[in-house]
Amino acid sequence: MHKHHSALGLATTLRPVEPVTIIRPHAAARAARFFVEKFPGRSMYAVKANPSPDLLQILWDNGITHYDVASIAEVRLVARTLPGAVLCFMHPVKAEEAIREAYFTHGVRVFSLDSLEELDKITRATRHAADLTLCVRLRVSSEHSKLSLASKFGVAPHEAKPLLFAARQAADALGICFHVGSQAMTPEAYANAMERVRAAIVDAAVTVDVIDVGGGFPSVYPGMEPPPLERFFETIHRAFESLPISYSAELWAEPGRALCAEYSSVLVRVERRRGNELYINDGAYGALFDAAHIGWRFPVALLREPESTVRDHPFSFYGPTCDDMDHMAGPFLLPADVQAGDYIEIGMLGAYGSAMRTAFNGFGSDQTVIVTDEPMASLYLDEPERVASNVVTL
């Protein structure tokens, strides 16, 4: 794998024809250490955000020992890559065959569920094992998050009593989990969810051993500047300490985006300019799925020497396929003199960028290059470090 000091150096030296995934291992390592040292409980990486084996190894090397897996393929991947990792099967609806393989072949003991049917499935598949940690998923609000996860999974708190009671009878350890939605913009999201957890525990009158606050921890993007992550941690810890739970209960979280967003970006080339529209060589069917389909705005930078001094102008992007839906509306602010042949770095794509990539229409590239400069935005650098490394919180 090639290595360069910076994305600019990569663009000006290699001048690649196809898009290049830029990775910053030091950024993922820093994020992992941050969660390990500062989150007041257990942090387990949500593999769906970026299943790269290289990334999994970086997180492991920096203290992340538990992994939230959502499919048997993710179970196999992490078990193969990190044989010592603890796997938690946190998808609430699983194939019985997947549960069986996870338990008997890969040693998975933690499973989530949100229905009595799923509980029956888990107990059958594990042959009524006595060493299960079962986490009942509550439905909570996503009102404070940019992407809702409140519709598909989770039992309503006022309907949780029979499921919690039944899971308590089947489990060695009983947990309650929830997900406030992706990119939560305020700690209040977790405070409100914890109140729903409290109500469910009181109503069911069961002993709870694990509280899993799920994911939703944010990263920084243009127009989305969340508070420091320490404020989220403080809010969660206060709420956890006040719950009516076992004195030895554990606090868990499932960060995905927050651990890997800064890990990678993509270098693209402008193939054509049509007014305020730039045709680039990656798009909706590549690393920019979120930019196209949910209007996510990623940080962008024109990589050119000498640097352009022209004022920024709003652009939209078209990807390389023949599909009109291969369109990213943005707006993406770039110097007004951008033209065909220029290179652009699109940042903060470590979360979901590579995970959503396809080879539709024959486009796409597996070329990956390591760089040692800082990501385009960061929640893990103090202000003096941002200034020194030219990292700007957008």
Q: How far apart are CA 286 and CA 299, in angstroms?
A: 17
Question: The domain at 40-254 falls in which architecture?
Answer: Alpha-Beta Barrel (3.20)
Q: What's at 233, amino acid-wise? A: F
For strands 173-177 and 145-147, give the pairing. Answer: unpaired
Domain boundaries along the sequence of the chain? 2-23+261-389, 40-254
Q: How far apart are CA 36 and CA 104, in angstroms?
A: 29
Residue 257: count of CB within 10 angstroms of its CB = 23
Using the 8-state DSSP alphabet, how is residue 280 labeled? E
3-class SS at 91?
A: coil
Residue 387 has what pLDDT? Answer: 43
Enumerate the H helices of 226-332 as residue ranges. 229-241, 257-260, 289-293
Residue 142 has what pLDDT? Answer: 86
Q: What's at 230, amino acid-wise? A: E
Q: How far apart are CA 374 and CA 29, in angstroms?
A: 12
Q: If we measure between CA atoms, which residue out of 141, 133, 136, 137 comes closest to residue 107?
A: 133
Partners of 182 in the beta sheet? 147
Partners of 154 in the beta sheet? none
Q: Which two tokens stand for residue 290?
A: 């979120």
For strands 277-280 and 264-274, give the pairing. Answer: antiparallel
Q: How far apart are CA 34 and CA 217, in angstroms?
A: 13
Residue 176 has what pLDDT? Answer: 98
Q: Which two tokens stand for residue 227?
A: 């508070």
Q: What is the CA radius of gyration of the chain?
A: 22
For strands 20-23 and 210-212, give the pairing. Answer: unpaired
Q: Which two tokens stand for residue 219?
A: 């990263």
Q: How far apart are CA 111 and CA 41, in angstroms?
A: 19
Q: How far apart are CA 343 and CA 312, in angstroms?
A: 15
Residue 392 has what pLDDT? Answer: 43
3-class SS at 114?
A: coil
Residue 359 has what pLDDT? Answer: 87
- Check if the beta carbon of residue 305 is closer than 8 Å to that of residue 12: yes
- Per the listing, tokens 């929830």 go with 178
Residue 354 has what pLDDT? Answer: 84
Q: What's at 67, amino acid-wise? A: Y
Q: Which two tokens stand for residue 222?
A: 């243009």
Residue 366 has what pLDDT? Answer: 85
- Check if the beta carbon of residue 109 is closer than 8 Å to that of residue 133: yes
Q: Which two tokens stand for residue 375?
A: 């990501």
Q: Which two tokens stand for residue 46?
A: 């949500």
Long-range contacts: 123-127, Cβ < 8 Å, 24+?
A: 123/170, 124/96, 125/96, 125/97, 125/99, 125/100, 126/99, 126/100
For strands 343-346 and 182-184, give the pairing. Answer: unpaired
Name the CATH superfamily, with its identifier, for domain 2-23+261-389. Answer: Lyase, Ornithine Decarboxylase; Chain A, domain 1 (2.40.37.10)
**Residue 119 Cα distances to 86, 132, 321, 343, 366, angstroms:** 21, 11, 44, 52, 40
318 exposure class (CB count in 10 Å sphere: 0-12, 13-18, 19+)? buried
pLDDT in tens, the chain (394 residues): 678 889 999 999 989 999 999 999 999 999 999 999 999 999 999 999 999 999 999 999 999 999 999 999 999 999 999 999 999 999 999 999 999 999 999 999 999 999 999 999 999 999 999 999 999 999 998 888 888 777 888 999 889 999 999 999 999 999 999 999 999 999 999 999 999 999 999 999 999 999 999 999 999 999 999 999 999 999 999 999 999 998 899 999 999 999 999 999 999 999 999 999 999 999 999 999 999 999 999 999 999 999 999 999 999 999 999 999 999 999 999 999 999 999 999 999 999 998 888 888 888 888 999 999 999 999 998 754 544 455 543 3
Q: How far apart are CA 151 and CA 163, in angstroms?
A: 19
- Check if the beta carbon of residue 8 is closer than 8 Å to that of residue 303: yes
DSSP string, 231-242: HHHHHHHHHHHT
